[in-house]
Every structure is written in structure tokens, then in C-alpha cells.
Structure 1
């Protein structure tokens, strides 16, 4: 076997140019396949950890997926709001450590506006329980004096080129053109959050009092004709919110989450829905998971093309190697030795291509990982990410073994006399 491997290496080295191209094609194919797999796992982890450390998300009675879409991802609109008195009752329930009220419905140049409390910056977590970090400036004060302060996410600041101290105006409603602006009540940017790779980056954060302040002279979703309340006057009004969109709830003991969920779902004050973020996000991922399966299928097809190129290279070289193979037959090599020679060549090329792909992925992860983490909140791991990736590597090597079978079968059919007879 050792002698056979030496012969296989010598033969492959003699054809290193063409075989090298086949190895490069395999390396790029495997890089794409494993890159998609790692990106898929990283994206799924980031998706599932858009909010972490939150035990329950509470909103008006609707489907769990819809509640997560608008409360966490700022997509769609709430079917109904919940009363502020209900949110206060939730905060006072035994076993509740903290609550974060959320009020949605307004926007700023295509980005969602979120009204919340200062507890948002203290308790909200994403990823592996990572806290929000104010990269520039500070969080809004949440007081009446600082009612027109805003904190913008990293993507908002980057896309619109905002800086600390800049004044902005908000629009009534979310998305689309022709929205009515709250032009008479501008906000001052006092903070810019560090990138998280979550919907936080695409959000303008203001206080709950600010939500009430900009709607004092509105009724039924439209400004009241002839009534304009100046910004310096709004502080004289009671700015306690009447309704909010949802509440994030953190418990003292996570083991009590199911009991708390059941009690909130049976709340007497109004119909409420409490969902476990992890369960709802898994359901939501099933809806959008078709994209990852499509990418994996495309990557698998690219790998098949790369292996087909290897088969083509080996088959094309058989005509040039007929004399070489015939000489091996003449000195005692049987059909199984010839077959083993070609299969070893195919497997060796696949192993080299896979090793090159792993090295390339590791290099790309180390170089681009910090940037990807900052921009998207997740980055593929530099090493083999799990059992699933090992299975893919095993399938690639098995495919390389199978790819060597056809050339081996073709070589075994070449007769000794055919290989030694000169062809005119």
C-alpha cells in the first residue's frame, strides 16, 4: 500500500498543473458550502438572540409570532395596545424583577421609533446576555426636562450620518411615503448606541413621555385643526402614557416562567398574551428558514460541479496514462491496484481541497470576524462549528471517494495489450 501511495503521489505530481486546478475548484466549492453552513448557524444564533435575558414578552392578545415581529423586530403593526395600568400591574407582580415598556407606531425616515423607559438601557440584553453600550453621548434622561432627547441605533446614525447634538423630527405612522411629521416638536440626539446586529441598530429611542408629548395636539391619528401645543408648554401636561404596545418582563427566578405566563394569560384587567421569546423565535425561524435551506442546496450543487471537474480531469488524463497503467499491469499490478491508485488520487485531491477550504475559512473568519460582529452582531467561528459541519466534511470526503470510482472502473477496462500497443 505504501508503494502504491508513492506511485499515486508521483503520478499526481507529474500532472500537478491540471490536478491543481481541480483541487482549487474543490477548495472553493467546499469553502462556499462550509461558509454557508457557518453563516447559517451564526445568523440563526443572532436571530434567536435578538433579545436575551428576557423571560416573557407581553402584549395584546394575538399570535406569538406576530407579537415577536412587532415587539422585537419592529415589523408590522400591533393589532391592539395594552393599557398603561396593566403594564404597571405587571411590574408590581410578585416574582417580577423588572419590566421594559415598549411603545411603537411612529417612525423617522424609514426607521422605527421606540418609546421606552430608562430601564431599557439597564436591563435589555442581546446575544449572550450582552448589554447595550452607548458608544457616543449618553442615554436619554427620561425626565420631563429632557423629554425631547433621542438615542439612535448604530445603523440609523451611519445611514443618515447623524452626530451628537443634531436635531431631528419624527413622523406619525411607520413606513411609506406621505407621513405627517411632528415638525413642531424636534428632538435632539444625545446618544448613539454601539452596533449590536439586532433591530436596536435600526431604531430611534425616545422616552414614553416624549411619545405622549408629540401627540398632545393629535386625535384619532391626525392633528387637531387649529390646536398647536408648543414644545416648551408640553411639560405642563401630564405625560403619563395611556397605552403602550408591549412589555418585556424579567423574573427573579426563571423556573417560575411557565406559572407567570399562565397567570398573565389569565389576567383579569384585559386580554393579554405572554410568550417565551425563545419558543416564539424558533417558530418564526421556521417561517424564514427556507432561505438557509436554499443556500445550502445551491452550495451543494457548486460542490457537485467541483467534484465533476475532478472526475473530468482524471478521466481526461487516462488516455495519456494508458501506457503508465499498462506497465504497472505488466509488473504484477492487478485491477484492484489500478483502481486503488485512481481512487487514492481522487480522495487525496478532495482531502487537499477540503483542507485548503478550512484554512481559507479560518483566515477569513479571523480577518473579517470583528467587522462582521460589529456590523451584523454575529460572525462565523474560525474553527469547525459543530457536529453538522463535521458531517458535511465527511460527506465531501465520501463524495471524493465516489468520484474516483468512475475513472477507476474505466482504467480497469483498459487491457494490457491496448496500453502497450502504439496508437497511430
Structure 2
């Protein structure tokens, strides 16, 4: 305890340089933890977006592209699916349910999703959790809309409010369908998925807003969709999934692609794996740079502290105690840097939450550290402590006479 107290007071006497060293370590640790947290949360967020869906069907393209635009609303479809093809596949005996999706419009930067009541009945996220309404209910007539939780929260919308949608997905659009306003009839409970950032309307509404206003209303034939962007599918038996996938991929009426959500996610992580590893390697290098700066500071201060070491030796300090003193100092600096870095990481993630949510649709939860993050912190402390052994060994070798012979 006396040695630890002495190490603390020694650092306090050099608090300016010690504080700079701690800040350097803290910033590098915050970057390391932040990158790992973003990596883990991104995977968790993507994996929990859709569950219980056997197949996702869209126009023929790449399976990663289909997954991104149909589920995560990132990017756009290369082509649409004809309504007749959708009806033909949905009516097959081994198909239990389908959820049609029509994209291409937006409301103040939020995606408008054209669908039907099956979306609220069959869509699952997380661990097969169903959608639930925080307020109101699903749409029943043509010009009614259901809002995701984030849309309602960020725009301050309530039930009964009128909204208009625009063509395209830009936040500012010059092609606004203001001749067909929608009434908000439902607000979904938060899900932590892109559903929170979506405005759901009926497929008939998507057709209506792209037609001139008719005072006498629209006929059912006029409001029948001509095409959709994609659809989700659930099978009566999981055994039938691969057979159905092959049949859709060989569909003769038009070129279609059916993908397994889990397989597509694995392909996506394979594409992003190199970038993840590169970013993690850069973070590790930054941490090592911070620890090297601590080592440089300790080595630079040794020459100035040779008299201090000599005085300690003269009052009975053993050589190994001098060694332990410097090791303890590096341990204290490392621990302080790690603690401050962890706190700084939470502060940075809390500040970035709104930006990541609005711009990327990524939901961050500020929970406890993961096992991998604890291992990273332990590794930083151990490497920092071991790096302190280099100046400690040099101090150990200084003799009493060498220290007392220094002129000041």
C-alpha cells in the first residue's frame, strides 16, 4: 500500500504529463471500444430486423442487394415484380402467407412502404416478435397511414394528423402528392428495426397517389396494383423452402430471385468482413500508439528522476521496490486511461445515436460492455503495465552513486 501511495503521489507531482498520457490512452481506447461496439450492434441490429420469414422474393439481381432494399430500405430495386406473378406464387398450396412490399415514395426523408394488412399480422422481428400498436390500429381505407415509432417521435405526429407523401426517397422532393393527403390512424410500438423509420400505407393508396384526382372515387380495378417491389414469404413447412426457392428462381413468366434471409446476411457479413478487420486493425494501432506515448513519457522522465531514485535508495528502498514503483505508475496510467476511455466511448455513442439513427437506420443501445470489449480492456492494461517494465528495468539498474552524482 505504501508503494502504491508513493506511485500515486509521484504521478500527481507530474500531473500535467500524466494527464496528457491518460488522455492519449483514453482516446485510443474509446476508438477501439467504439469500433467494436458499432460492429457488434450493427450485426445484432441487422440480424434482428426480420425473423420467421422463409424467403424474400424480388426481381433478379444480387441477393445482398435484394436484402438491403427490401428489408433495410437501403438502395433501390433494379426492377419490379408484376402483380400477376405475385398472385400466382402467393396462391400456391405450399405458401402459408406473403407480405407484398411496394417502395419508391417517401415522407420527409422516411420511406413509405406500400403493403396490406398481412404486414401487421405476419411480419416478425427479433425472436419472432410480432408488431404491436402503441396507438390506433392498421389502415382500413385507401388514404390511411400507419407510422413507425421513430417517424412519429421525431416529427411529433399524432393520430388524426394529415400527412402527404412525395415521389422518390430524398428528404426534399419537388414531386409531392399533396392532392392525396393521408390520415394517421396508427402508430407502431418501437421495434429497433427499419420499421420504426417507415410509413406504411395500402397498396391501393400507392396506385391512387399516382393517378389524377377523381371526384367520384376510384374503382377496385383502378386501385389494383400493377407491380410491387418485393414480397416476403412464409411456407407451410420448412422442408418446402428449398424446393420453392428453386421454383421461383426458375420462374418462366419473368426473371425472379428468391433468397434465404439468413444466407443473404452471411454473404453481407462476408463482404463487410475485410472492412471490419481493417478498421479494427487501425484501432489497435491507435491504442499501441497511445501506449508507446506512455512509454516515451516514462523514459523521458527517468533522466530527471535519477536523483529521486537515488534518494529512495538512500532511505532504504530496495532495487526491486524501485522497479515496482515504475511498474505501478504505468499500471495506474493504463487503468485510468481505460476507465476514462470507456466512459468517453459511451459519451461519443450517445452523441452519435441520433445521427446514426437518422442517416443509417442503425439503433444503438448503450448497454454493458461485451466479453470481447472486456478482453480488449484487460489486454490494454496488461500491455501498458508490461511496457512500464522497460523504464522500470532501467531505473532498477541505476546505482545509488550514479543518482547522487547528478548535478542540478
Normalising TM by the smaller chain, what interval?
0.7 to 0.9
User: Cα 1:422–1:104, aligned 2, differ >3 Å: closer, same or farther?
Assistant: closer
Q: Cα deviations across residues 62-100 of structure 1 (Å, max 9, x unaligned)?
A: 111221222122233322222223323333334433211
How do 1:3-82 residues align onto structure 2 when only pairs under 5 Å count?
Answer: 6=1, 8-17=3-12, 18=14, 21=19, 22-23=21-22, 26-27=25-26, 29-82=28-81
Root mean square deviation, CA, Å: 3.7
Q: Deviations over 1:105-133 (max 9, x none)?
A: 22333332211011111221233333323
- Specify which of 264, 267, 271 is matched with residue 248 of structure 2: 264
Deviation at 1:203, TM superposition (A): 2.1
What SS does the aligned partner of 2:39 have?
helix
Answer whether contact 2:4 2:325 (CA < 8 A) is retained. Answer: no
Residue pair 1:8, 1:342 contacting (<8 A) in 2 also: no
Match of 1:318 in 2: 302
Matched residues in 2 for 1:397 and 1:188: separation? Answer: 57
Give matches, 1:214-363, under 5 Å.
214-215=209-210, 217=211, 228-230=212-214, 232-235=216-219, 237-254=221-238, 256-287=240-271, 296=280, 299-319=283-303, 321-326=305-310, 333-334=318-319, 338-351=322-335, 353-354=337-338, 360=343
CA contact (8 A) 1:116 1:208 kept: yes
**Distance of 1:374 and 1:174 partners within structure 2:** 16
Q: Please state how far the C-alpha of 1:411 moved relative to its aligned partner.
A: 1.7
Counterpart in 1 of 2:170?
A: 175
Partners of 1:308 and 1:420 lie apart in 2 by 29
TM-score, normalising length: structure 1: 0.79
What is the alpha-carbon distance in structure 1 between the residues aligned to residue 59 and residue 23 of structure 2?
56
- Paired residues of 2:105 and 2:168 also in contact (CA < 8 A): yes
1:393 pairs with 372, 377, 380, which one? 377
- Distance 1:391-1:178 versus aligned 2 partners, 3 A rule: closer
* Gap regions ≥5 residues in structure 2: none
- Aligned residue pairs: how many? 400
Instruction: Give me the whole-angstrom Cα distance separating, in 2, the residues matched to 1:202 and 1:167.
Output: 18
Check conservation: 2:30, 2:344, Cα contact below 8 A. yes
Q: Aligned partners of 2:219, 2:88: CA distance in 1, in Å?
A: 26
Give the distance between the partners of 1:411 and 1:379, measured in 2 at CA.
Answer: 46
Indicate the residue corresponding to 2:395 in structure 1: 411
1:117-136 aligned within 5 A: 117-136=116-135
Give, in whole Å, the separation in 1 of the partners of 2:278 and 2:311.
Answer: 48
Secondary structure at 1:58 match in 2: strand
Distance 1:236 1:302, change over 3 A: closer
1:193 and 2:192 aligned = no
Give the alignment's TM-score, normalised by structure 2: 0.82
What is aligned with 2:161? 166
Task: Work out which of the residue numbers 367, 371, 377 in structure 2 matches 1:381.
Answer: 367
Distance 1:30 1:373 in 2: 21
**Alignment CA distance shift 1:240-1:50 (3 Å):** same
Residue equivalent to 2:146:
151
**Residues 211-245 of structure 1, C-alpha deviation per residue, up to 9 Å, x if partnerless?**
22333x4xxxxxxxxxx442651145453323211
> Does the CA contact (< 8 Å) of 1:25 and 1:306 recur in 2?
yes
Structure 2: distance between partners of 1:318 and 1:282: 52
- Note the alpha carbon deviations across 1:315-339, whole angstroms, 9 max, x for none: 35434542453466676945x6644
- State the alpha-carbon separation in 2 of the partners of residues 299 and 80 from structure 1: 40
- How far 1:310 sits from its partner (Å)? 3.0
- Does the C-alpha gap of structure 1 residues 52 and 135 become closer, same or farther in structure 2, counting only changes over 3 Å? same
State the shift of 1:348 in Å: 4.7
- Change in 2 beyond 3 A, CA 1:189/1:278: same
Q: C-alpha distance in 2, partners of 1:173/1:321?
A: 68
Question: The residue matched to 2:183 in structure 1 has which SS?
Answer: strand
Q: Quick one: distance in 2 between partners of 1:59 and 1:44?
A: 23
Residue of structure 2 equivalent to 1:223: none
